Amino acid sequence: MREVSVATTVRAGAATEAPSLAAAAERHLDDVYRYVLYLIGDPSVAEELTAETFELATRKWKRFDPRRGSARTWLCQLARSRTLDHLRAESRRRKREERFAAEVPEAEEAIFGEGLSPELEAGLRRLSAGEREVVVLRVVLDLDTEETARLLGINPSACTTRLSRALRRLEEELT
């Protein structure tokens, strides 16, 4: 991997320090992996997609603008895009296989992380993918509302509403 040094970006008279890609990768690798794992549920696929995310980040690092968001948010956006591409490709692959297969294999059970109670894990599994995603970003990764909204492509108000509804539904699932 090519080392990118700390650069100072000057645009419109404002100077902002951009961390190096190596520093950002070291600091946010675990967050990106956990985010992908929550979306995918398979540790080996999550590792692969995380590696692909950082490979993509290496190629696109010069486009990162620290004034528009943190390196963590930018990396999570890349990871989300890569993960959604993977899920779409997997969906197409499964549809092709189903056309030719007599039996459809059972889906693997999702893995939501270490340290969660079986009840909480089961409750999370019953949430929709969108609900799980907002819970992961806001609660597990502790992104603020603006970062989460930017990552999901919605406004902060919609993000807060989505989180509130997801947590209410999770509470209902657990009671």
Per-residue pLDDT of the chain (175 residues; tens, 9 = 90+): 333 333 433 344 344 566 788 888 889 999 999 999 988 888 999 999 999 999 999 999 988 888 888 999 999 999 999 999 999 988 888 777 676 654 444 544 445 455 677 787 888 888 888 888 888 888 888 899 999 988 888 889 888 998 999 899 988 888 8
- The answer to whether 170 touches 128, Cβ cutoff 8 Å, is no
CATH topology of domain 15-111: Rna Polymerase Sigma Factor; Chain: A (1.10.1740)
The pLDDT of residue 113 is 53
d(CA 163, CA 40): 20
d(CA 120, CA 110): 13
d(CA 87, CA 19): 31
The pLDDT of residue 54 is 93
The pLDDT of residue 36 is 94
Question: Who's near 167: CB < 8 A, 6+ residues apart?
Answer: 135
- Residue ranges of the domains in the chain? 15-111, 116-175
The pLDDT of residue 10 is 36
pTM: 0.55
CATH class of 116-175: mainly alpha
